[in-house]
Amino acid sequence: MQISLELIRNVPQTPSFRVAFHGTKERFLLPYPCVHGLTFVNSCTRQTFSWLTSILAIAPLDDFVLRPYDRISFDLPSNINVAPETSLWWIELPPGEYDVHFLYHVERDTNWYDFLRKRSRFADVTPIWRGRLQSNVVRYVVGD
């Protein structure tokens, strides 16, 4: 399986990144990607910045089925330098150039509870994908 990342241009408010899952020859069950999987590394200092949240919450883990040779993508609004009360997750970045990649990591050994009853009808016969993948790197510039 592969993950591809691209910056979506011409988004009116917050920058968004599109993460796409593809390149598998098997059917897999995967959790939806979260914005805090985006990793921002300053291209000059190599400093990595952390996502912030002010809410501790328990939420259902929704999943999707990736079929062989399919491509499924998700748009992730990044909430860069926004007011904390406007977002569950945000990241504070000083002006500069950043290398951004998406890190996808699944190590769960338990079954997932389908809280919203949105699970694919093939989920029960689909193996859960487990592992760690990193996308390609895209450049993002934070202005003054």
Per-residue pLDDT of 28-65, as tens digits, reads 988 889 999 999 999 999 999 999 888 877 766 678 88
List the single range of 6-10, 51-55, 60-64, 83-87 with lowest mean pLDDT: 60-64
Beta bridge partners of 18: 6, 75
3-state secondary structure of 5: strand
pLDDT (0 to 100) of residue 144: 77
Residue whose C-alpha is closest to residue 52's, from 19, 94, 82, 13: 82
Identify the band that residue 86 occupies on the pLDDT scale cut at 50, 70 and 90: confident
Global confidence as pTM: 0.86
Query: Does the pLDDT of residue 113 top 70, yes or no?
Result: no
3-state secondary structure of 64: strand
Return the structure tokens found at 113.
Answer: 């509870």
pLDDT (0 to 100) of residue 133: 95
The pair phi, psi for residue 120, each rounded to 5°, is -60, 145
Q: What's the CATH number for 2-142? A: 2.60.40
Residue 89 CB neighbour total at 10 angstroms: 19
* Integer Cα distance of 9 and 143 in angstroms: 15
Mean pLDDT of the chain: 87
